[in-house]
Each structure stands twice: as structure tokens, then as C-alpha cells.
Structure 1
Amino acid sequence: MRRPARRLRTALAALAVAGTLAGCGAFGDAPSQSGGEPRPEGQAIRVGLPTGVTSFANADLAVAIEKGFLSEVGLTVEAQNLRSGVSVVQGVVGGALEIGAASIEPVVNASAGGGDVAVIGAYTDKLTVSAVAPADVATAADLRGRQVGVQEVGAFREVMTRLVLQSAGLTPNDVQYIPVDAQSYNSALVDGRIQNAILQTEQAIAVQRDNPGMHTIAELDSIVPEYHYGTYFVSRAWLEANRDVAVRFMTALTRAHRFMYENKDETVRIVAATTQFDEQVISQAYDTLLTQKAVFPVNTGLDKARIKATMRRMGELGILENEPPVYEQLVDAGPVIDAVDSLGVQAGDARWR
């Protein structure tokens, strides 16, 4: 059934409110709640990831764990894979997670709705996804009347779908949204349940390799090159009590990003095991994401102009019901600035951020 624009706006508003009030986990399962007390040094912190199976874009956390960068700063991380970034925001605001990883949209909506959240860093600040379709969908304009896969209204892939549709002069009213879990997009494309999916780079490579006729109809970083993608974020109350933990966390993740650029073979091995794709696919994705596009920041990765441009684009798309937060309300760059200060700024490549 199609979702008219009014229903979409209502659903988005409900999600923004829920994101500021509730704590829930993947597929309806609620993570255990915690009190607001700071955890002792060395005790595990819970980090929520926005897909049921970790993507390459979020695999920096796996690298930081595997290489001991987190243990070296006295942290043990328990990663929890949730349904989408909306669920991760709910978990952080509700106290079930100490740190969340999510695309920027649900974090902005939570902040705009009065949620007590602060972005402290980025995983991939550049977009890493493509719109993939079967052979009979030659361009984005051919999606009119088709079934397209999304996770949740207001979550990352639905927002990216809107951008693809907009590039062809279409709106969500021109297609039929089909709810699909992130790890099921490839199978849904292959069996014909959907005729378009927003896929992470490794997903796009795998489905096109194994299914002749599947092809990319849009690269999102070409449609919106100024768009900020991934965030690490926390509640401001937690940050006030645990700023040193946030600094140590961002130090470990920054080290992981730098390691990934310098160690392809080991990175491919870790990411393949984490994402459940074979090493051939991950090697090809590595060449795209790190060698060609440099999507992982090696310094702060929090460009004020890019983040403000992203919030403006959210407003244009109609996915920001309230006034956008000012940058300083949304972002506390202090932890990652302190991390980079301790490691030294990495320079020598114009792409380094």
C-alpha cells in the first residue's frame, strides 16, 4: 500500500518523538536498561550498530576490537546490532546503550525534538551506498509504480531512497514502500519482492556479481556529495559523567581508521569475518571505499559545513519536522578533538579529514 505524504510526515513525527522517549532494540527486542551512573574504567560499554549484521561502514569498531585499540585505552565494548539508526537512538536516549552508531538523520531528529543527544565522532562521514535495481529498471525514473525496499520511515535507507527518487523527479507517493531488514535486501531484490534497494558497497558488489542484470542506477555520494553520513553519538548526561571514556573511545576508533588505510590485507580479513561477505567482495569494496573514496575520517571527521548542509537537505526532503538544531546543540566535537590531539593530526593527503 502506498504511503501518502501526510502519512509519511505523521510517521516521521512519531519516530522523532519515540526516539527521544523510548529505548528498544532490534526487531522489537528491548536491550536491558541501565541506570545513569558512570561505569568504572575497564568495564564494558555497550555500542549500538544500525544494522542486523555489521556493514563495512561500521566495521571500524570490529577493527578497533580485534587490534586491541580499545583494550589499550581500558575499554571493553559489547556491540549490539539493532534494526536501524532509529532503534539505536532510542537505545541511547533510553539508557540501554552508552554509545550509538547511526546515520545522522535520526540523531538530528532526536536533537531537534528536544532529545538529550550529542554527536562525538564519525564512522564514515561520506556516503557509502548505491541504489541497485534489476535489468528492467534502467534508471531511477523507471521506479515509478515499483516496489522499493526500506527499513523504517525516517531511517537512513528510506532517506537515501527519497534522494534517488528526487533525482528523477519522483516522490515517495510514486512508489510502494516494502519493509525489508538490512541484511535481507539482496535476497529481496533477487526474488523480485522489491525492484530497488539502497545497498552498502559490499552488498552491491555481491548481488551484481552473483546475479547478472542487477546494476547500480545511482551512487548516493554523486547525488549529494556534501551529505554527512555516519555518527557516533551519546546522551549529553552520559557524556558529562563519562567524557574521558568518550575521548578514549574516539582515540581507539581514530586509530582503527588509520590502521585500515595502511593495512589492506588484515582489514579485509577482519571486515569479511564481521560482515559475513567473502574476502573477494570485501577486497573490492575496500578498493572503492578506502583507496578511491577515502570514506573513513582519519582526523575529526566532523565538518561543520557538511553537517549543516545535511540538515538543510533533510529540511528540503520533508524529514525534519522541527527546526534543525544549531551545530553546537547537535555536536560536541571535544572528545574526537582531544583524541586527534593525542595522536597527532594526520596530513599529507588532501582527502584527510
Structure 2
Amino acid sequence: MRRPARRLRTALTAFTVAALLAGCGAFGDAPTQDAGEPRPEGQAIRVGLPTGVTSFANSDLAVAIEKGFLAEEGLTVEAQNLRSGVSVVQGVVGGALEIGAASIEPVVNAAAGGGDVVIIGAYTDKLTVSSVAPAEVQTPADLRGRQVGVQEVGAFREVMTRMVLNSVGLTQDDVEYIPVDAQSYNAALVDGRIQNAILQTEQAIAVQRDHPGMHTIAELDTIVPEYHYGTYFVSRAWLEANQETAVKFLRAITRAHRFMYENKQETVQIVARTTEFDEDVISQAYDILLGQKGVFPVNTGIDKARIKQTINRMRELAILENEPPVYEELVNPNPIIAAVDSLGVQTGDARWR
């Protein structure tokens, strides 16, 4: 039996909010350590990633680990793949993660709701996703009455779905939301469970290569070109006690970004192993994400105007559940500024931010 979109969205929203307040995973997948439990001295820094399998957009951490940039800073990092950015926020707020990586929306909503989170850096500050559909859906307008895949309400792909719908005058009430794991979107498209998915670049390339008829109906960086995408964030309490660790972490990540631009072949190999896509797909994705769009910042990647525009866009689409925090409360750029200052600002290319 088909569940009306509004009823499903309401149920998902209630579940997500309740889970965030309780500090457990929205779909049972948040870190299970007791909230606030102290981390023993010398143990790895736990970094939460927002997909069950790491995407190209989050592969900077894998590069930083494999190339030894984190080890050179004296840091050991343990990556934990979770269901979505909502789950990552829960882990940071609950004390089960030291550092979170998530799109900006759940971080802003957590801060607006009184959660102890602060943005300190960016993984990809530009959008890296496309809206992909089967042949019978030619344009976003054709999504009316269709089943569309989302992770959970308020998470990145659901927000991007709203952006696509809004671009043609539709709302989420005009479609049916179907919960799908991030790594299962391609399969759900192919078997017909959903007729639209927000896909990372490598996912979009793979599904269109392997299944003729699948095609891109919208590029999100075209719909909302000034939208800030990915954030590294921590609790304010953790940052106050670990300022130098934050700088070291972000210095290693910045070195990884710079390495990726300068070393395509090795980057493709690392990212292919990390994302579980073949090197041909990742090579094509590399040419788009780094060669054409330059989505990984090589400097701070923190643009105040861009972040404020993103928050305004969230407000317009009713993505914000409360009044947003002021920028100065949401973002602490000092760690990434210190990291870039120690490396030297990189200039000479219009992509460098």
C-alpha cells in the first residue's frame, strides 16, 4: 500500500527529531558510546562520515590517512561510516564522535535547536550531486506523483530533492518519499522502487553507464550555485579543549585537498578503493569534480557570504526547524585559518578558495 507523502514525511521528521534529542541514530545507526563518555588518552580521533560507504566528496579523509598527512601531525583517526549527516550530528552532540563530516543542513538545524556544534572547516564547499531519473522522467516537472528516494527528512539528499522540486514549482507534497540508504540509490532506481535520486557524481556516472535510459535531469550546483555543501564540525566543548588538534586535523585535510589536485592517478586509485567504484568511473568523476568544478577547497573553504546565503535558502524552503544561529555562533574559522596560514595560501587558479 502506498503511504501518502505527507504522512511519511511527518513520521520521518518526528522520528529524526526524537532521535536527535535522545542521542541515538535516526535509523539505529549512530555511534553507541554513552553520551559524554570521555575518550581515553592516546586513542584514535573518531570522525563520522555521512554515508554507509564513503563518497568521493568525503574521500579527502581517506587520502589524508593513506598519504600519511594525519600521521605526520601525530594524529590517528578512525573513520565511522553512518547513515546520513543527521546521524553524524547525533554522534558529535552525544559525545561518541570527536569530529563530524556532514552537509550543512543538519548542522545548522542542530545549532538552531541548541545543540553544541560549531563548523570549523569544509570537505567540499560546492555541491557535487545530480538528480537522476529513468527515461520516462524527462524533466523535474515529470516528478509529480512519482516515488523519490531520500535518506531521511532534513538530511542532505532530501534537502536537495526539495531544491529540484522547487525549481519547477513543486513541493515535497507532490511526490512520495521512499527511504533509501545512500549506497542503495542506484539499485533502487534500476529496479523501479524510485523514479528519482540525488546521486553523487560517481554514482550518477556509474548508473548512466551501466543502464541506458538513466539520465541527469538537474545539476544541483546549477540550481543553487552559491550553496555551501560539506562541513567539518565539532562540539564547542571539544574545540575549547583541543584547539591544536583541530588545527592539525584541518592542516592534514588541506594537504590532502592540494595533493588531490596535483596527483590524479594516485588520487583515483585511493578514491576507487574507498568508494568501491571502479577506476574508470572515479577517473571521470575526478575530471568533473576537480578538473572542471574544483569542489575541494585548497584554502579555508569557509565563505561567510556563501554560508549565510545557504542558511537563507534553507529558511525559504522551510528546512530550518528553528531560528538559525548567527554566523559567529555557527562557524569558528580560527582552526582552518591557522592551518592554512601555516601551509601558505594557495593562489593562481580561479578554483582556489
Report the TM range for the smaller structure's normalisation: over 0.9
Deviation at 1:36, TM superposition (A): 5.5
Distance 1:308 1:20 in 2: 26
- After superposition, what is the alpha-carbon deviation per residue over 1:4-57, rounded to whole angstroms, capped at 9, x for unaligned? 2x87468547635643551438743643236464664x5310000000000000
Report SS of the residue matched to 1:225.
Answer: coil
Deviation at 1:321, TM superposition (A): 1.8
Distance 1:223 1:24 in 2: 31
Distance 2:43 2:177 in 1: 42
**Conserved? CA contact 2:30–2:87, under 8 Å:** no
**RMSD of equivalent CA atoms:** 1.7
1:221 correspondence with 2:221: yes
Q: Which residue of 2 aligns with 1:181?
A: 181
Q: Which residue of 2 aligns with 1:287?
A: 287
**Conserved? CA contact 2:19–2:25, under 8 Å:** no
Deviation at 1:150, TM superposition (A): 0.3
Q: Which residue of 1 aligns with 2:321?
A: 321
Report SS of the residue matched to 1:318.
Answer: coil
Distance 2:298 2:154 in 1: 29
Q: Which residue of 2 aligns with 1:77?
A: 77
Report SS of the residue matched to 1:339.
Answer: helix
Q: For the structure 1 residues 319 and 34, does the alpha-carbon distance in structure 2 shift closer, same or farther, using more than 3 Å as the test?
A: closer
Q: For the structure 1 residues 234 and 21, does the alpha-carbon distance in structure 2 shift closer, same or farther, using more than 3 Å as the test?
A: farther
Q: Which residue of 2 aligns with 1:65?
A: 65
**Conserved? CA contact 1:123–1:297, under 8 Å:** yes
**Conserved? CA contact 2:120–2:335, under 8 Å:** yes
- After superposition, what is the alpha-carbon deviation per residue over 1:234-285, rounded to whole angstroms, capped at 9, x for unaligned? 0001111111111100000000000000000000000000000000000000
Q: Which residue of 2 aligns with 1:127?
A: 127
**Conserved? CA contact 2:86–2:106, under 8 Å:** yes
1:53 correspondence with 2:53: yes
- After superposition, what is the alpha-carbon deviation per residue over 1:220-245, rounded to whole angstroms, capped at 9, x for unaligned? 00000010000000000111111111
Identity %: 77
Number of equivalences: 351
Distance 1:31 1:296 in 2: 31
Q: For the structure 1 residues 335 and 36, does the alpha-carbon distance in structure 2 shift closer, same or farther, using more than 3 Å as the test?
A: farther
Q: For the structure 1 residues 34 and 20, does the alpha-carbon distance in structure 2 shift closer, same or farther, using more than 3 Å as the test?
A: closer
Q: For the structure 1 residues 13 and 178, does the alpha-carbon distance in structure 2 shift closer, same or farther, using more than 3 Å as the test?
A: closer
**Conserved? CA contact 1:121–1:232, under 8 Å:** yes
Distance 1:11 1:113 in 2: 18
**Conserved? CA contact 1:63–1:267, under 8 Å:** yes
**Conserved? CA contact 1:121–1:333, under 8 Å:** yes
Distance 1:37 1:341 in 2: 31
Report SS of the residue matched to 1:28.
Answer: coil
Deviation at 1:350, TM superposition (A): 1.8
5+ residue gaps, structure 1? none
Amino acid at match of 1:113: G
- After superposition, what is the alpha-carbon deviation per residue over 1:161-198, rounded to whole angstroms, capped at 9, x for unaligned? 00000111111111000000000000000000000000
Deviation at 1:79, TM superposition (A): 0.4
Distance 2:27 2:120 in 1: 23
1:3 correspondence with 2:8: no
**Conserved? CA contact 2:300–2:337, under 8 Å:** yes
Q: For the structure 1 residues 321 and 25, does the alpha-carbon distance in structure 2 shift closer, same or farther, using more than 3 Å as the test?
A: closer
Q: Which residue of 2 aligns with 1:241?
A: 241
Q: Which residue of 1 aligns with 2:208?
A: 208
* TM-score scaled by length of structure 1: 0.96
Distance 1:205 1:34 in 2: 40
Q: For the structure 1 residues 283 and 75, does the alpha-carbon distance in structure 2 shift closer, same or farther, using more than 3 Å as the test?
A: same
Report SS of the residue matched to 2:80.
Answer: strand
| Higher deviation after alignment, 278-287 or 236-245 | 236-245
Distance 1:25 1:162 in 2: 20
Report SS of the residue matched to 2:233.
Answer: strand
**Conserved? CA contact 1:134–1:195, under 8 Å:** yes
Distance 2:309 2:229 in 1: 12
Distance 2:14 2:320 in 1: 8
Distance 1:299 1:38 in 2: 30
Amino acid at match of 1:19: L
**Conserved? CA contact 2:8–2:177, under 8 Å:** no
Report SS of the residue matched to 2:299.
Answer: coil
- After superposition, what is the alpha-carbon deviation per residue over 1:305-330, rounded to whole angstroms, capped at 9, x for unaligned? 00000000101111102111111110
1:333 correspondence with 2:309: no
Amino acid at match of 1:68: G
**Conserved? CA contact 1:22–1:94, under 8 Å:** yes
**Conserved? CA contact 1:134–1:215, under 8 Å:** yes
- After superposition, what is the alpha-carbon deviation per residue over 1:200-221, rounded to whole angstroms, capped at 9, x for unaligned? 0000000000000000000000
* TM-score scaled by length of structure 2: 0.96
Amino acid at match of 1:257: H
**Conserved? CA contact 1:147–1:177, under 8 Å:** yes
1:148-163 alignment runs, 5 A limit: 148-163=148-163
